[in-house]
Amino acid sequence: MPYLLRIDSSASGDTSVSRQVADSFTAAWNGDVVHRDLALNPIGHLDAAGITARTTPATEHTPEQKTAALLQDELVEEFLGADAYLFAVPLYNYSIPSVFKAWLDHTMIVGRTISLGGPAPSAGRPAVVVSARGGGYGPGTPRHGKDFLVPALETILGDPNLMALDVRTITPELTYAPTMAPLRHLLPQHHASLEDAHTQAHRQAEEIGRITATQMTT
């Protein structure tokens, strides 16, 4: 049966804002959820065995290639089995947490999850990216233009020649305001951003739930 695939990647445990907003989404989700926590159970980074296993006949795989192929098969089948996606991916040092990048590298395989020159198997499926960040990155802020996570994921996940998902982003900001004195004056903006993020998560869960339910009955 189709399900929501939730991927967590924050190293902050229960204090992670990305996780908390993702929890609001799953609380409003009316359906099955498959959960993979890359912080608690990280996968190794893609290596030579993982790359060459894709183009080497299975009968000729080395032990290392067999292990790599089994992992990639597991991740690909889990990805393709979902009809919606929830990615909790905080902004780390202006970019993507390495554990989530590793998941992408293992999962993005031409001819399986991406189809250059043709529609991807997951084309059009809805995906929500929740990306909390310690500061503010919107227009007019000192860090505007330095968010290299959302643009990258919107391309990787949403480009028609890659995974071709229908990507929606939620970005709770100023999460350092409660704990860092120089940002303390921005607490009202942080609280407003967080409240809005939880509201968006709830609304997106309901909307995507209606979309997937309709698709299953047509």
For residues 20-42, average pLDDT? 97
Note the CATH number of domain 3-217.
3.40.50.360
pLDDT tens string 67-120: 999 999 999 999 999 999 999 999 999 999 999 999 999 999 999 999 877 889
Cβ atoms < 10 Å from Cβ of 202: 16
Position 59 pLDDT exceeds 90: yes
Start-to-end CA distance of the chain, whole Å, equals: 15
Position 56 pLDDT exceeds 60: yes
Q: Which two tokens stand for residue 151?
A: 């643009």
Cβ atoms < 10 Å from Cβ of 217: 5
SS3 state at 129? strand
Position 157 pLDDT exceeds 60: yes
Where b means 16+ CB within 10 Å and e means fewer, 145-157 reads: eebebbeebbebb
Where b means 16+ CB within 10 Å and e means fewer, 165-179 reads: bbbbbbbbbbbbbee
| Partners of 110 in beta bridges | 114
Radius of gyration of the chain (CA): 18
Tell me how far apart the alpha carbons of residues 41 and 2 are, in angstroms, rounded to a whole number. Answer: 23
